Amino acid sequence: MIVAIDGPAGSGKSTVARALAAREGLTYLDTGAMYRAVTLACLERGVDPADADAVAEVAKAVRVSFAPGDGGAAPRVLLDIQDVTEAIRTAEVDRAVSAVSAVPAVREAMVAQQRRIAEGHDVVAEGRDIGTVVFPKAEVKVFLSADPEARAWRRAIEREGGDPTAPDAKVHDKKAYKRVLADIKSRDAQDSARDTSPLKPADDAVRLDSTKLTKDETLDAIAALVDQRR
């Protein structure tokens, strides 16, 4: 079984996909981490993210894979043999990743790796093009969105080391929140406007808006869809 969860940055895809994987015994595949890892490889090699040919060469040369996290923690992200789990979450990678992932050869290389990782497993995969391109025959497709302000608020709390799902969660640095909001809006615009595999719901995706939902409510809604298809 394949569960595809697509949606914009900060919609809660990762949190929910990870929880769903644990609850339903599925393999979790974070495709955004793969585009982030290629972006990091470009930055480390001094390749300009706007140079599509050079970026494509990097994507073809590297292998992104996952290793189990410690005791239920998120999987570790490996760029060849380098553990890049933390390094791919910087603001620098945030700013460059949309340009890198718009390059068709990068997508081709990543989609091939994603299909290989999923082979023979029941998977919950999250990203932007899972239901439309990577696994068009997925048994369950969800397009998870939320207002940009709600998404930026969650990301800003995470950046401060907090837990946005906690009932008393608060943003302390309002300027940082505004920067995250601007960054999220710009990334959504670039991801939606690109020619190859733009961010958009599959025709047969169930649309879910998590703005006013708790993590558990969102998880229950998606788990109910999975149970219907089991």
Structure tokens at 228: 């219907």
Answer yes or no whether residue 103 interacts with ligand C5P by CB under 6 A. Answer: no
The least distance separating ligand C5P from the CB of residue 85, rounded to whole angstroms, comes to 12
Answer yes or no whether residue 11 interacts with ligand C5P by CB under 6 A. Answer: no
Q: Under the phi-then-psi rule, with left for phi > 0, alpha for psi from -120 to 50, and beta for the rest, what region is 54?
A: alpha
Answer yes or no whether residue 226 interacts with ligand C5P by CB under 6 A. Answer: no
Radius of gyration of the chain (CA): 17
Instruction: Decide whether 49 or 71 has the Cβ nearer to ligand C5P.
Output: 49
Closest CA to 210 of 173, 164, 159: 164
Closest CA to 35 of 2, 72, 9: 9
The least distance separating ligand C5P from the CB of residue 30, rounded to whole angstroms, comes to 7
Closest CA to 66 of 40, 33, 21, 17: 33
In the set 15, 38, 75, 128, which binds ligand C5P (CB under 6 A)?
128
* Main-chain phi, psi angles of 33, to 5 degrees: -60, -35
Cα gap 178→36, rounded to integer Å = 22
The least distance separating ligand C5P from the CB of residue 229, rounded to whole angstroms, comes to 22
Instruction: Decide whether 49 or 177 has the Cβ nearer to ligand C5P.
Output: 49
Q: Is residue 127 a known part of a binding site?
A: no
Piece of 52-60, 95-103, 150-158, 218-226 that binds ligand C5P (CB under 6 A): 95-103
Cα gap 20→30, rounded to integer Å = 13
Answer yes or no whether residue 98 interacts with ligand C5P by CB under 6 A. Answer: yes
Binding-site positions read: 7-15
Binding-site positions for ATP read: 7-15
Residues at the contact surface with ligand C5P, assessed by CB under 6 A: 9, 31-32, 35-36, 97-98, 101, 127-129, 187, 191
